[in-house]
Amino acid sequence: MNQTKSHRLVVFDTETTGMNDTGGPIYEGHRVIEIGCVEVIDRKLTGNTFHVYINPQQLIDEEAIQVHGITDEFVADKPLFREIAHDFVEFIRGAELVAHNANFDISFLDHEFGLMSRALTQAMPKCADICTITDSLLVARRGEYNKREIQLAGNKPLPSRKNLDSLSDYYGVDRSSRTYHGALLDAELLADVFLKMTGGQNKLNLKHKGSSDGVDVRPIDTNRPPLKVVMATGQELEAHQQRLDLVEKKGGQCRWRN
C-alpha cells in the first residue's frame, strides 16, 4: 500500500537578552531567553507547541525588555538552555524549520549549542544538522514578483516592508493581542502568515446558512442554465501560436502545442 509521507513544519521564534551592536556576530555577548514553536503538518496547525523561557545567566538589555517585556526577575528561576536543549532538538528533528529572518534566530541557537559543546566537551549539532531551514523573510521578498499571491490578497500591492506586522496586516492575520513581541505568539502569527503566503487559501469553509453541524454543502441546482463556452477567435489562436514559436525560439519547450 502506498503511503505519502506527511510534511512537517515547525514555525518558531526566539527572544534574546539583546542584539550585538559592535559589528560582530549578532549573538555576540547575548543569549536566548525564550523559544516558541508551532507544529504544522500537511499545511494544518496541529495545536502541538514547544514553549520555554530560559535563564540566560546574564542581565537583559533594557532596550530588549522594551520589545519583549521579559525581565531579569522573570527568568531568574527558569531552566538553563542545556536543560531544555534535548527536548527542543527532539521537537524540531527532521522538520522544516521556518523563521522570519532565520539567520538571527539560528545564529543564536547555534551559539547556545556551541556553548554547550564547550561545557560538556562534546560536539552538539547545529540546527542545520537537525532539520532543514526556511527563511520566511526571503519567501516574502520573492513573493513581490508573484502575481498569483497579489491576486489572492485582493490585488493589494505588497507592503514595502516585509516584517511580521506588515505581512500580518497584508494577509489579514489578527495581531490585536500582540502588545509585546513574544516567541510563541510571534510563531503562531508567522504560521498563519506563512501558510497564506505560500499557498493562498488554506481553509475551505463548506458551511452554508442553516447548517446545524457545519459540514453541509449547498447542492448545485441541476436545473440551472448551461454554462456559456467562449471559443477563441482565429486571431487569438494565431497570436497563441506566435507566442509558442517565440518560446521555442528562445530555447523553451511547448508541451501543449497542437
Contacts of 193 (CB under 8 A, 6+ apart): 136, 164, 167, 168, 171, 173
* pLDDT tens digits, 143-190: 654 555 555 555 566 677 888 888 888 888 887 776 667 899 999 999
Helices 81-92 and 102-120: crossing angle, nearest 10°? Answer: 120
* pLDDT tens digits, 32-88: 999 999 999 999 999 999 999 999 999 999 989 988 999 999 999 999 999 999 999
- 254 closest CA partner among 245, 225, 30: 245
* Contact between 59 and 191 (Cβ < 8 Å): no
Q: What is the chain's mean pLDDT, rounded? A: 80
The pLDDT value given to residue 238: 82
The pLDDT value given to residue 26: 61
**Cα separation of 168 and 233, whole Å?**
43
C-alpha 190 chain-centroid distance: 5
Query: To which H or E segment does residue 34 belong?
Result: strand 32-41
Among residues of the chain, what percentage have pLDDT more than 90?
45
Q: Which residue has the higher pLDDT, 90 or 3?
A: 90
Distance, first Cα to last Cα, the chain: 38
Residues that are catalytic:
181
The x, y and z cell numbers of residue 151, run together, are 491576486
- CA distances 167 to 10, 137, 183, 191, Å, are 19, 10, 17, 12
The pLDDT value given to residue 90: 96
Q: Which residue has the higher pLDDT, 167 or 226?
A: 167
Residue 243: band (very low, low, confident or very high) from pLDDT cuts 50, 70, 90 = confident
Residue 212: band (very low, low, confident or very high) from pLDDT cuts 50, 70, 90 = very low
Lowest-confidence segment of 2-6, 65-69, 186-190, 200-204 by average pLDDT: 200-204
The pLDDT value given to residue 58: 93
Question: How confident is the model over 94-106, as a mean pLDDT?
Answer: 94
Q: Which residue has the higher pLDDT, 38 or 218?
A: 38
Lowest-confidence segment of 94-98, 208-212, 217-221, 232-236 by average pLDDT: 208-212
The pLDDT value given to residue 209: 46
Q: Which residue has the higher pLDDT, 23 or 195?
A: 195
- Residue 174 identity: D
The pLDDT value given to residue 219: 62
